[in-house]
Amino acid sequence: MSARTLPALSLDQLASIVGARLVAPSGERPPIRRVTIDSRECEEGVLFVPLRGRFTDGHLYLGEAFQRGASAALVQETVFSEAGSALLKHVVQTRGALLVVTDTLEALQTLGEWYLSSLRVPIRIGVTGSSGKTSTKEMLRAVLSLHYSRVWATEGNLNSEIGVPLSILGIREEPEVVICEMGIDHVGEMDVLARIVKPNLAVVTGIGSAHLERFGTRERIAREKAKIFSSFDDRSVGFIPEDEEFFHVLVEGWRGTFLPYGPATVEGFEGWESRGLEGVILSWKGLRIPLQGYGEHMVRNALGVIRLSGHLGVPPSMVAEGLQAYRPLFGRGELKEIGGVWFLVDCYNANPESMRASLEGVRGLKGIRRRIVVLGSMRELGDAAPSEHRRLGDYLAGYPADVVLLVGEEMEAAFAVLEGRSGVWWMRTVEEASSLLVSIVQEGDLVLLKGSRALGLERIIQDFEGRYHA
C-alpha cells in the first residue's frame, strides 16, 4: 500500500489535528507530506502510522521506519510508556519525531476526517451493502466522471476503518465528488466511517448474511449499515433496493429522503438480456446499454447507479456511456481467458446471497462447452454456517453444472447433500482443487470461481497462468 500524499503539515499542526503529544529534539524539521502504515515506504517527509493487528504490531517496525528516513511516527501511549527510552534513541539518531496518542488507528481516522472536511467536497457518496459495493462504486465512478470534471473514489477494496482514511489521505486535488465504499465487519465500524466521510448521498446494495458471525442476525446487520445515514440532513438522499426486506429498518429515525430502486421503480427501465460471455444488455429509456457483468444482481447494481445519477441530473446518454465503460476489478466478476478456458473470477467475498447471485449469473450463459463451478467456503457465518452450506447443497442439486468442485472445511456440509452424484468433488484445500481442475478442464469450458477471500481461490488463476504463460 503506497504512502498517501498530504498538503505539507508541520509537526505542530499534525499534533494539534490528532491530539498528540509531540516528542522531538529541538531544531527545524521537514513538513509531513505523506502518510503510510508500511515501514518499508518511509523516507523524509513521511509520517509512519504503526497499527496493531491480529498477527503483528506495527510498533515493532518503528526502528526500521526511522532508519529508512521517516520524519515522524505516531506511537500509542502504552507503548511509549514501556519503551520510550529506546524509541527516543531512534528519534535522536535520525532527527525524527514521535507523536504520542491514545490509539494510533483512531489518530489515523481523525486525520482522514480532518483532511476530507478541509476539502469541502459538495457531493459525498457512500456505498454499502453485503455484496455489490465495489461494482456499484466503480459504475458510479465511470458515470459521474463524465458529468463532473473531478471525481474521486476509494481504491480497490479499501473500504474499512483502516482503508477509508488511508485512501482519503491520497486525494491529490480538490474533487467535486467523492465516492467511498464503506464496508463493515464489526459493530461500531460504520459509526467511524460515517464520521469520516459524512456522506450526503448513500446507496445500499442490499442486506445479506456477510459477517453474520459477528452481528448475530441480518436485522442487526441492517441496523449497523443504516448508520451510513447518520450524517444526513434534510437535503440528503439514500437509495435502497425496492425489494429490500429491511427497508424500513434502514430508514427508521434518519433525516433525509429515501428512494427505492429496482426494475419497478427506475423510470424507463425496459428489461435486460444476457449476451453470454460478453455480459448483459440493459434496456432503459430506449437505450440498449452493454454492461460488463453477469446476471440480475449486476443489473440491479446498475439500476441503483441510474437512480442516483438521475437525481444528480446526469443526462441518460451520459449514464449509458459510463455504464458501458465500466470494467470489473480483479476478483469482482472479472472474465479471464487462459489457454482457451474462460474463468469468471468472483472470489473476493461469499455469503449465501452473493453465492446464489453468482451462480444464477452464469446459469444460462451460452457459447460455452461445459459449466464448471468451483465454490469455496462461506466464512464468518457463525452458528448458521452448517445450515447455510447444506442449503447451498440443496440448491446445487438442481443446478445445471457439469462439474462442481467444493473447497474448504465448511463445504463438507454441502457435499454431504450431493455425495454420490456424478461430477461432484469436495476438497479441503485450494491446492487440491487446482490440481484436480487442471486434470479435467477442457478448452471452451467456463469456470466460475466463487468463495470467501480468506480461502484464496485466486491461486487457481495463478496456477493456470503459470502453466500456460511459462
Tens-digit pLDDT profile for residues 140-151: 999 999 999 999
pLDDT, the chain, mean:
90
Q: Give the tens place of pLDDT for each residue, 265-275.
A: 999 999 999 88
Check pLDDT > 60 for residue 253.
yes
C-alpha closest to that of 48 among 72, 69, 79? 72
Q: Which residues contact 314 (CB under 8 A, 6 or more apart)?
A: 143, 144, 146, 147, 322
Q: Is 217 annotated as a binding residue?
A: no
Check pLDDT > 90 for residue 339.
no
Give the amino acid at 428. R
The CA angle 97-102-107, to the nearest 5 degrees, is 70
Phi and psi at residue 37, in whole multiples of 5°? -110, 5
Q: Where are the alpha helices (DSSP H) in 200-281?
A: 212-215, 218-225, 247-251
Structure confidence at residue 434 (pLDDT): 93
Rounded to whole angstroms, the Cα distance separating 58 from 282 reads: 47
What would the grid cell of residue 12 be? 505542530
363 vs 291: which has the higher pLDDT: 291
What would the grid cell of residue 23 be? 516528542
Q: How confident is the model at residue 1 (pLDDT cuts 50, 70, 90)?
A: low
Q: What is the mean pLDDT of residues 98-107?
A: 96
Q: Is 135 annotated as a binding residue?
A: yes
Structure confidence at residue 230 (pLDDT): 97
Q: What is the mean pLDDT of residues 161-166?
A: 94
Q: Give the tens place of pLDDT for each residue, 193-202.
A: 999 999 999 9
Q: Is 129 annotated as a binding residue?
A: yes
User: For the structural domain made of 334-468, what CATH number should be given?
Assistant: 3.90.190.20
The CA angle 109-211-373, to the nearest 5 degrees, is 120
Q: Is 160 annotated as a binding residue?
A: no
Residue labelled with grid coordinates 459524512 = 198
Rounded to whole angstroms, the Cα distance separating 443 from 448 reads: 15
Q: Is 89 annotated as a binding residue?
A: no
- The domain made up of 4-102 has a fold known as 3.40.1390
Structure confidence at residue 182 (pLDDT): 96
How many CA atoms within 13 Å lie on the side-chain side of 180?
A: 38
Q: Is 10 annotated as a binding residue?
A: no
Q: What is the mean pLDDT of residues 165-190?
A: 93
Q: What is the mean pLDDT of residues 222-235?
A: 97
Q: How confident is the model at residue 328 (pLDDT cuts 50, 70, 90)?
A: confident
Residue 387: CB atoms within 10 A of its CB come to 12
Q: CATH number for the 120-325 domain, one of 3.40.1190.10, 2.40.30.10, 3.40.50.1100, 1.20.140.10?
A: 3.40.1190.10
All structural domains of the chain with their residue ranges: 4-102, 120-325, 334-468
Which residues face 52 on adjacent strands?
Answer: 57
Task: Decide the pairing of beta strands 32-36 and 4-9.
Answer: antiparallel
Q: Is 133 annotated as a binding residue?
A: yes
Q: What is the mean pLDDT of residues 118-124?
A: 95
